[in-house]
Structure 1
Amino acid sequence: MSEKLLVRRAAVLGAGVMGAQIAAHLTNAGVDTVLFDLPAKEGDPNGIVTQAIAHLGKLSPAPLAAKGLAERIVPANYETGLELLRGCDLIVEAIAERMDWKQDLYKKIAPYVPAEAVLASNTSGLGINKLAEALPEQLRHRFCGVHFFNPPRYMHLAELIPAKTTDAAVLRGLETFLTTTLGKGVVYAKDTPNFIGNRIGVFSMLAAMHHTEQFGLGFDTVDALTGPAIGRPKSATYRTADVVGLDTMAHVIKTMADTLPDDPWHAYFKAPKWLSALIEKKALGQKSGAGVYTKRGKDILVLDVKAQDYRPSAGELDAEVAALLKEKDPAKKFAALRASAHPQAQFLWAIFRDSFHYSAYHLEAIADTARDVDFAMRWGYGWSMGPFETWQAAGWKQVADWIAEDIVAGKAMAAAPLPNWVFDGREGVHGGKGSYSPARNVEVPRSANPVYARQRFPDPLLGEKFSQGRTVFENDGVRMWADEGDDIAVVGFKTKMHTVNDHVLDGLQEAIAIAERDFRGLVVWQPREPFSAGADLAGALGLLQAGDVRGFEAMVANFQKTSQRIKYAQVPVVAAVRGLALGGGCEFQMHAARTVFALESYIGLVEAGVGLLPAGGGLKELAVRASEKAGPNGDVLAELKAAFESVAMAKVSTSALEARELKLARESDAVVFNAFELLHVAKAQARALAEGGYRPPLPARNIRVAGDVGIATFKMLLVNMLEGRFISPHDYEIASRIATVVCGGEVDRGAVVDEEWLLRLEREHFVALAQMPKTQERIAHMLKTGKPLRN
């Protein structure tokens, strides 16, 4: 069998929460997908699935990257639809977590599964080898477990669990598909209950629950301690339980108790009394409106176990503990936490100690290497560092001795000793040669699967350093670099949030000049998100408040000059976008020869939110595109409508696919699902354009505009909104000026203008708005609070 897994069509069995969202994400990735469930008792036999597909549109965050994709999913049922399986290359089973149900379904579908298809069970913890027993012999080598984390579109982790019978080529093909097509970070797990992520993750929550009680802390205080303060998500411990569902949480704990009888921590695998009491009262967390937390009016209340009632949530870090956590040196931080008598510090040392202890004790049984555990916790639970990285950063030997002391003193949750390898003189588990594997007793390098050659900068583990390339040019705003012998250069911004100031503008122009002379193409890419949060507002406000209107006008003119320089460069300039690309950041990518977007790109011309309009050539570009799309006889105004609404309402796309609908991305722009492959694809696109004999577009001199009729049409929409109080008078002022620019000014409908004309209009209206007190209030408010002001 070839290692290449070609997935023309996929099937998902089970239209529950996970199944429907996996089908949605396959569809996002352009995979023709059939979603199955039981036949409905009455009416349309596919009714259950049709309802599940309709429900996808109501979920937040959205499982679908564009609303219209829902109708692409094909509904089917197990009675009348099994023939559809014959055309599928990948079948993902995602029904309820019951061994007997899953095995029954396998027997039912087996006759319809094609000879080359891969069958995978999306289970969060059932035995893969046990499931395989229900399959006919010829299917077993193409069966494995694949565990997506919820929500599947956004969570980077996918655990791949081979059965004893799984063919190695099948696994490599599926790993490649999961990585590139679906954008996942793949970790191989051994066939043990709950695999890696949930085994360590749920244990860490149980440890936090145990120590909450031990140190007499409130649930809200523990959430303050176990969130961003220690590099974990805002939902921390108890908010996470509410989001997951307290009934689900209790079910997972019970599964651990039932399936791990020999685990030395088994005594803790039971739901705390307060948890069972909440479930009995049907207070299941977010889905039922109350759990550990509840809302009354605008107030958030938290359960007080002693009072058996809710109280206002005020959980805060003690100032002394907060100061300890700000210590940059992890070794000093852990020493201080362990030495402090404060219950909050004692709590933190205890949860770290017990999760290190648990991870080390079970490493050999659950994973091949320590890398797999650290990535599982980062990608599946949102931790900034995995347990082994955290331990190693804090000083491996010293922390190991402390854990051993606590085990002997009876302070640890279990008396099980740390494994011998912990004390073999090592400084940690991650090193220059790779990450430690207790089963093989060697350091194992990263996977040699060719798919990873697409990741020039993979997610780095503690101590991993990747070459930053040779610096070609650098100023205070940008760094331009290239790999030795490469003919495509890369430029990135050095400012905070990659905002655009004069240094960035001058640096980009210089980088383009160097690329034209010495390279075949240039990619604009940032080593970290976001792509760019737009213009440097603080600098702009400074010029305005100092009354330097000429300096302000010069800055705007330089912005436009940079955009035009990108568009008319003699070598292709490709923008590689992920995360936010707002305002000027969005305008730069609009002027690139091509943009490569990561799926999770949030694009918007949002200047209206700070009382301005886009003036880096964005409105000019929208007018140019509308004219080109309409052609000599088409309706320019109709082509402008969606774009005008996007800008006037300061809309931000919730995905790269939606950016196309908002007219902020072109149909020809590429979308990449794995953000770590973004640079590879952008360089490949730049090279392909260069190989194809790239020439920049000819200057746009015959731009047909919507003129006075267009402006009047848009203003009618705005008057209705103003009268309905949907917008303020200043919103009306800004949007009217946006309409004026994008329609080419007060000229006849269908008049022909050039780019210079549109750029001048942008500048004039931008400078006029900038001098208005209400706009300056908006800019100041945004700088102070990070939120838009509606004045």
Structure 2
Amino acid sequence: MVSGLKFDHAGGVLSNPFIVRKAAVLGAGVMGAQIAAHLVNANIETLLFELSAESGNPDANVLKAINRLNKQDPSPLSVIDRASCIEPANYEQHLEKLGECDLVIEAITERLELKSELYEKVAPYLNNQAILASNTSGLSINQLAAAVPEALRPRFCGIHFFNPPRYMYLVELIPGKQSDQGVLDALESFLVTSLGKGVIHAKDTPNFVANRVGVFSMLATMHHARQFGLNFSLVDKLTGRLIGRPKSATFRTADLVGLDVLTHVVQTMQNSLTEDPWHAHYAVPDWLQRLVNQGALGQKSGKGVYQKQGKEIHVLNPDTDTYQLAQNEVDSEIEALLKQKDPVARFVALHDHPHPQARFLWAIHRDLFHYCAVHLESIAHNARDLDLAIRWGFGWQRGPFEIWQAAGWNTLAGWIAADIAAGKAMAATPLPAWVQVVGQSAAQGVHAQEGSYAPVANNLQPRSQLPVYRRQLFPDRLVGEERVYGETILETDALRMWHTGDQIAIVSFKTKKHTIDNLVLQGMQQVITEAERHFRALVIWQTEPPFSLGANLQKAAEKPKTEVSQAPLAPPAPPSAFDLFIRKFKKSAQSTILQAARSLDIADKLMAGKLAEVEVMIAHFQQISQQLRYSMIPTVAAVDNMALGGGCEFVMHCDRAVATLETYIGLVEAGVGLLPAGGGCKEFALRAARNAIDGDPFLYLKHYFQTVAMAQLAKSAEHAKALHYLQPADVVVMNRLELLHIAKAQALALAETGYRPPLRPREIVVAGATGAATIKSNMVNLLEGGFISEHDYLIGSKIAHVMCGGDIVAGSRVDEEWLLKLERTAFIELLATEKTQDRIAHTLKTGKPLRN
């Protein structure tokens, strides 16, 4: 055991904990700079090293890398000013500073000799407690360790982040033969809680687990696309969301990660795995090599498998090396069978169907299952690690073994064996004997409630018992594992109130995307009442993301249902962090407006004269927001992913918000021609009054107005604090799986103070007509310059009118109900306009904003 890293596994006590006060990243390339960015996202002082510039400022190279972080989209930084927190360094002047660092991550070029030279250079400067880790994507950790001094080897290991490090959940932890287990446990705990990562342990084999399996799957897909004569864009349609993978699927994913990076990984497999049964397929296709030779490396070079020509997307034809308009029409019969909910029926149909698209899909699954079964023992410790590596690293909804098990383990095993015997598979190696053994188990597969199959031990291996995982009350569930979310207190069609055996009540919505309708509002009234009577605090937490896409006005006129049932809540499908990264940040402004329109979901019948019912719902919404604010017990919003419109307003009215770093929150109603009316405008007016200097709230209010009028969406929880959607006391959580644990702890801490709700403000100082006029005068300049339309001006004027307190004298004092009434009135007035209705309808139809 390494001194200073003593770990009590039995009692879970870290007697002398591993604390990262300062970290260093060696190498300011794409990955190194982004790892440094994520370290400062986690509030860790970070040094970023790079070679000295040949002339001028020695730190010019590293400063250039840091400056690039501000220009990348999606941003590696939680807020832009975090880049200034990265301390630049070079190897000639600053090696002594490494002595201050508890963790040093090497992230230079993937060449063994260069990494070895660097270790020899930096090792003398490391303190005797520091951990040195290589962010290699596939080089042997034991070969790298040979260049590390003997005394340092227990504190050396591999730590493989996936690109982009901020957004990708997976980190592979790879020990060397001399790595100390205490070091690995301490580092894993740090990665999980402080950096918010999902850690899997990989064996020291080429490309480890995720890249080994994921890249083979891509190679198999390319092989069978050629075999069945399918074009690249059609293959992406077939291997994307239709089969539970990200929309980027196969070839678009290659463009995103970089064709040069993909080529390097394939070549590593080709050079290192010469005895592998699939070695003949570890080859870079000719068309791919030609693209790399031309510098067509994918998204980063603007050209790869895909190329945008004007507004059209063109795809490579590998036979002619020319680009043509993408064609991805999936056969209607194949699409229908892929949409079957029963995985057993789906795979039976795929296996038996004669269409080339079905034969292709069966072939890529067959060879993937075959590959994973043969290699599981050599690359991973158990089936769980392999499946989670692919889910977290490649964004699949289910891992390979999960898909196999859900579709009928024994039936598919028989089909695979038959295809191997018939010479249809990509390799002739038979399935290992353990495949039949687990097929005869009660679980009929590799995953069960007790654990996941480990070939070396030939048993089910339970999840890690490290104390850090006790913070994950509901970890990502695998096929074969049961999930029960506590004990039900009450349940309606719209929500469920439950607890985990303590004095904290939890409420989770059941509506699509957790939108808020009359049934949710009615249920929340019951929940708050019940929680005040029998519990010490209330937490709003969703069993799956998003937190809430806001108000659903479609059901405003529907009669609420009052039945309460005790039926258990169905376990959710796991979220895909990779899919979130791909989808949410390509066109964030457009996405914000589209989500706003969908969350409002205003039906044609409301456009035709049901505005009175909408106003009743808005009043009810405001009432619930106020009940959250003034409840006799503390209320905590546990927020992950999107919290838009009314969802954001619920968050703003809770006593405390606990939000994951990847929380995207905003009052986005202006994007579809409306304004926040669930208390959001009122809340900003109240915050401006509280912060007022010399009694004038306008200094703050003008910034809050801009946030609301521009429908600004926070691109992280830290950004949400900068936009004032979240308060300074609100807590940012790095790991989404720890969110509920921390939210409950915050709720209990508030309760332990002898909690009393805040006093209702009787005198809120407002900016009045003068403040609104100042805002409008600025908008007139934008209107005359053609930057906004007349309807934009109307929307902004209504927002200013509400947030400034209406047509009253500046400095007047009002109460909350005054502001809430202004919200309701302005919302209905905008909803009644033809142009707002057109905006909503257009956005719902096209997915794009309308300027009218």
Q: TM-score range by the shorter chain?
A: over 0.9
Going from structure 1 to structure 2, the CA distance change for 1:696 and 1:643 (only over 3 Å counts) comes to same
How do 1:362-761 residues align onto structure 2 when only pairs under 5 Å count? 362-424=375-437, 425-426=440-441, 427-484=444-501, 486-540=502-556, 541-542=602-603, 544-631=606-693, 633=694, 635-761=696-822
Aligned residues: 789
Deviations 1:621-641 (A, max 9, x none): 10111111125x154111112
What is the Cα deviation at residue 54 of structure 1?
0.3
Per-residue deviation, 1:188 = 0.2
Contact kept in structure 2, 1:605 and 1:650, CA below 8 Å: yes
Q: Within 2, Cα distance between the matches of 1:225 and 1:551?
A: 44
Percent identical pairs in the alignment equals 59
Deviations 1:505-540 (A, max 9, x none): 111121111111100000011111111111113235
The yes-or-no answer on 1:318 pairing with 2:331 is yes
Partner Cα separation in structure 2 for residue 330 and residue 474 of structure 1: 29
Distance 1:647 1:58 in 2: 25
Matched, 1:216 2:278: no
Alignment of 1:56-67 (within 5 A): 56-67=69-80
Partner Cα separation in structure 1 for residue 430 and residue 610 of structure 2? 70
Aligned ranges for residues 156-167 of structure 1 at < 5 Å?
A: 156-167=169-180
- Whichever residue aligns with residue 100 of structure 1, its letter is E
* Distance in 1 of aligned mates of 2:835 and 2:305: 43
Q: Calculate the aligned-residue CA RMSD, in Å.
A: 1.3
Given that 2:695 and 2:765 are in contact with CA atoms closer than 8 Å, whether structure 1 keeps it comes out as no
In 1: Cα distance, 2:143 partner to 2:695 partner: 63
Between 310-319 and 574-583, report the one with greater CA deviation: 310-319
1:275/1:690 CA distance change after superposition, 3 Å: same
Counterpart of 2:842 (choices 765, 774, 781) is 781
The 2-side partners of 1:99 and 1:630 are apart by 60
Q: How far does residue 546 in structure 1 lie from its aligned partner after superposition?
A: 4.7
The Cα shift of 1:549 comes to 3.7
Distance 2:760 2:484 in 1: 39
Deviates more, 1:281-290 or 1:86-95: 281-290
Which aligned pairs between 1:147-226 and structure 2 lie closer than 5 A?
Answer: 147-226=160-239
2:357 and 2:607 map into 1 onto residues whose CA distance is 46
Please give the per-residue CA displacement for 1:173-223, whole angstroms capped at 9, x wherever unaligned: 111111111111100000000000000011111111111111111111111
Are the counterparts in 2 of residues 642 and 663 from structure 1 also a CA contact under 8 Å? no
Mapped partners of 1:784, 1:495: distance in 2? 22
Q: Which amino acid aligns with 1:636?
A: P
Cα distance in 2 for partners of 1:236, 1:550 equals 46
Q: Which amino acid aligns with 1:458?
A: P
Q: In structure 2, list runs of 5 or more residues that go unmatched.
A: 8-16, 557-601
Q: Deviations over 1:83-124 (max 9, x none)?
A: 111111111111110111111111111111111111111000
Could you list the per-position Cα deviations for residues 205-243 of structure 1 after superposition, in whole angstroms to 9, with x for gaps in the alignment?
A: 111111111111111111111111111111111111122
Conserved 8 A contact 2:615-2:824:
yes
Q: Which residue of 1 aligns with 2:564?
A: none
The correspondence of residues 32-71 of structure 1 with structure 2, limited to 5 A, is 32-71=45-84
Taking structure 1 as reference, are residues 635 and 92 closer, same or farther at Cα in structure 2, changes over 3 Å only? farther
Contact 1:643–1:664 (Cα < 8 Å) also in 2: no
Would the aligned equivalents of 1:162 and 1:171 in 2 still touch at CA under 8 Å? yes
Alignment of 1:323-334 (within 5 A): 323-334=336-347
Quote the Cα distance in structure 1 between the aligned partners of 2:150 and 2:810: 72
CA contact (8 A) 1:575 1:592 kept: yes
1:787 positional shift: 4.1
Looking at structure 1, the residues matched to 732 and 498 of structure 2 have their Cα atoms a distance apart, in angstroms, of 24
2:499 corresponds to which letter in structure 1?
A
State the one-letter code of the partner of 2:532.
Answer: E
Cα offsets for 1:669-726 (capped at 9, x unmatched): 1011111111111111000000011111110112111122211221122112111222
CA distance in 2, matches of 1:778, 1:109: 59
Q: Distance in 1 between matches of 2:679 and 2:298?
A: 48
CA distance in 1, matches of 2:654, 2:342: 42
**Contact 1:544-1:771 at 8 Å conserved across structures:** no
Query: Against the structure 1 CA distance between its residues 708 and 173, is the aligned structure 2 distance closer, same or farther, given a 3 Å change threshold?
Result: same
Q: Letter of the aligned partner of 2:354 in structure 1?
A: A
AA aligned opposite 1:471: T
SS at match of 1:479: strand
Q: Deviations over 1:527-580 (max 9, x none)?
A: 111111111132354564352443222211111111110000000010011111
C-alpha distance in structure 1 between counterparts of 2:348 and 2:484, whole Å: 33
Contact 1:544 1:770 in 2 (8 A): no
Contact kept? 2:99, 2:126, Cα under 8 Å: yes
Q: CA deviation at 1:786?
A: 4.6
Structure 1 residue 477: Cα displacement: 2.2
| Alpha-carbon distance, 1:70 to partner | 0.6
**Does the residue aligned with 1:690 lie in a helix, a strand or coil?**
helix
Structure 1 contact 537–783 (Cα < 8 Å) conserved: no
SS of residue paired to 1:465 = coil
CA contact (8 A) 1:538 1:783 kept: no
The corresponding residue for 2:285 is: 272
Cα drift, residue 785 of structure 1: 4.1
Contact 2:518–2:555, Cα closer than 8 Å, also in 1: no
Moved more, 633-642 or 296-305: 633-642
**C-alpha spacing 1:455/1:274, structure 2 compared with 1 (3 Å):** same
Residue 342 (structure 1) aligns with: 355
Q: What is the rounded CA distance, in whole Å, between the counterparts of 2:241 and 2:142 in structure 1? A: 38
1:707-751 per-position Cα deviation (integer Å, ceiling 9, x unaligned): 222112211221121112221111110111101111111222222
* SS of structure 1 residue aligned to 2:691: helix
> Where does structure 1 lack aligned partners over 5 or more consecutive residues?
none
SS of the residue aligned with 1:415?
Answer: coil
Checking the alignment, whether the CA contact within 8 Å between 1:122 and 1:146 is kept in structure 2 is yes
Instruction: Output the amino acid matched with 2:522.
Output: D
Bigger shift: residues 388-397 or 2-11? 2-11
1:117 aligns with 2:94: no
Q: 1:708 is aligned with what amino acid?
A: A
Q: Any idea what SS the aligned residue of 2:264 has? A: helix
Q: Is the Cα–Cα contact under 8 Å of residues 220 and 314 in structure 1 kept in the other structure?
A: yes
Of the three residues 308, 329, 333, the one matched with 2:321 is 308
> Quick one: structure 1 residues 71 and 507, their matched pair in 2 at CA, closer, same or farther if it must change by over 3 Å?
same
**AA aligned opposite 1:556:** I
